Amino acid sequence: MTNTILPCTVLDETTTYTLYQCCTLCRVNAQMIHEMIDEGVITPIGDNPRNWCFEATQIKRIQITLRLQQDLRVNLPGAALALDLLEELAALQGLIPNKYPSREKD
Interaction site with another protein (CB under 8 A): 1-12, 14, 23, 25, 27-29, 31-32, 56-57, 59-60, 63-64, 66-73, 82, 86, 90-91, 93-100, 102
Count Cα neighbours of 94 within 13 Å in the Cβ-side half-sphere. 6
Between 50 and 90, CB nearer to another protein: 90
Query: Whole-number minimum distance, CB 47 to another protein, in Å?
Result: 24
Query: Whole-number minimum distance, CB 51 to another protein, in Å?
Result: 23
Between 47 and 95, CB nearer to another protein: 95
> What are the b/e assignments for 5-40, b being 16+ CB within 10 Å?
eeeeeebeeeebbebeebbeebebeeebbeebbebe
Query: Whole-number minimum distance, CB 66 to another protein, in Å?
Result: 5
